[in-house]
Structure formats: structure tokens, C-alpha cells
Amino acid sequence: MTIPLPYRVASNRAETSDTRTIELCPVGEALPSFSPGQFAMVYAFGVGEIPVSVAGLRDGTLTHTIRGVGAVSRALCEAAPGTRVGVRGPFGTGWELSAAGGGDLLVVAGGIGLAPLRPLVRAALSSPGGRGRLNVLIGARAPEDLLYREELGGWGRPYCGVTVDRAGPGWSGHVGVVTTLLDQAAFSPRETTAFVCGPEVMIRATARELLHRGVPAEGIRVSLERNMHCATGHCGHCQLGPLLLCRDGPVVGYDQAGPLLAVREL
């Protein structure tokens, strides 16, 4: 098992009522470069360690968006600037934007699943040459649960759609599940690579709709989550059929993942 390197919390800002985005800077030696879609194991001293996807990459600084749902995630959400944490990584497979070729790109995010897709969107926007159309579809439970609201306006080339399951006061946007935005997106199914992350039920529903529209299973890449513990493929906690998601995932093709996700978890 790799040893965590010390990192310092450089900033901590609120995204929603229970979700924070923290930036971590190395204290001394930095970890190797991460690719969009990979994850780190982040250790809150005296509390424990959890896997966290990378939501931003810049000059050795790691950005993580974390929902406080357990002891470790709450400790990280409450970490003030200057707090030291331990970080291991990079781990797992990435989105592999370069392998998408020159076709259209379709990014579909549900809830906090937008976090690991954010560096992919940024990479696609910063180097559009040789690629087709970029569509970003984002779903959330309610308007107050949307992440990166100040940033979304710059993602609209050619289309960035946002929908919520239930509207609140003042919401004039789309209401419905994220797949209802597909009719407004411009893409050629057979020449599209789709990147999907969110709750597993949303991943399955999105993949089914994309397959129905003609996107091939091998053109759909999904990010999956299980109980990652060692991050090195030894403990077996994150096993999904023949896959160990900390090693063989979290990003896998739906041609591999589809049959496995059809089996209900016990």
C-alpha cells in the first residue's frame, strides 16, 4: 500500500448545504499527475480515509468536491484552510478523452456525479480542435443542489442543459430527469462518445436511452462506485463481477458494465 503524502487545504468553499469543494496543495513532494476520471484516497488525520474523485487539476493543486455523509467526508468538508491531510494516488482509469476520436462528445451528469466530469469538460473546452460537438447535460434533485453554478454558463458550446427533479421558487428552467434533455442535444449517435456519472439508477437509465438512440455500448463510458478500501486491487471490497473498480475502473465501457449492472446488489 502506498504511503499518503502530506497536502494542505488551500481553500474550502460551499457548493450546497452538504457539499464543499476543497483545494489541496502539496506540502513538499507532489503526487504524479492525475487524469480526468481518476481518484485519490484522501486521509483525514485521526478519522480515516476515503476515495474522492478529482474535480479539478491545476499546477499540482488537486480539487475535490465532497458531500459530507460520513465521518471522514464530514471531517474533510469541515477542514479549514491550512489543515493538513494525507493523499494517495492517482488511482483507477480515466475518461480517456483522447480515445474519443473526432466524433461528438456527450457528457451526462447526475448530482455529485458532475464532479469527476468537470475536468473532462474543461479539457474538451480548452482543446476543441479535431472534435465534434460537445453537449453537457446536468441533472440535480433541486436548484439548490446544483454544483459549480457560476461556471456552468461557460459550458454552453454548443449545448449545456440543466434540469432538476423538482423546481423551487424562482426556478424557470427545465424540470424532469436528465434523459429528458437528450432531445435538445445535437449529436450523431453512431459517432458519439458518451461519458456518464451519477447515481447508479441514473447511469442505467441514461445508458438504456443512449443505446435506444443508437449510441453503441462501447461508445458509452460510465464511472462506477463501490466500497473502495485499499485502492490497489488487493482487498476485494470494490469487486463488481470480474472487475475490481479501484483498479479496473472507476471508468469502464458500458459494453463491460452493462451486464454487471443488470444484477441487483444484495
Radius of gyration of the chain (CA): 18
Residue 1 pLDDT: 57
Task: Judge if 191 and 245 occupy the same domain.
Answer: yes
Task: Judge if 36 and 105 occupy the same domain.
Answer: no
Answer yes or no: is 62 within a domain.
yes
pTM, full prediction = 0.94
Answer yes or no: is 266 within a domain.
no
Task: Judge if 148 and 188 occupy the same domain.
Answer: yes
Task: Judge if 210 and 246 occupy the same domain.
Answer: yes
Task: Judge if 174 and 228 occupy the same domain.
Answer: yes
Task: Judge if 124 and 213 occupy the same domain.
Answer: yes
Task: Judge if 147 and 163 occupy the same domain.
Answer: yes
Task: Judge if 78 and 116 occupy the same domain.
Answer: no
- The total of structural domains in the chain comes to 2
CATH number at 115 reads 3.40.50.80
Task: Show pLDDT as tens, one digit a residue, over the chain (266 residues).
Answer: 578 999 999 999 999 999 999 999 999 999 999 999 999 999 999 999 999 999 999 888 999 999 999 999 999 999 999 999 999 999 999 999 988 888 999 999 999 999 999 999 999 998 877 788 999 999 999 999 999 999 988 887 778 999 999 998 889 899 999 999 999 999 999 999 999 999 999 999 999 999 999 999 999 999 998 888 888 888 888 888 888 898 988 999 999 988 888 766 55
State the residue range of the domain holding 107: 99-261
Task: Judge if 49 and 136 occupy the same domain.
Answer: no
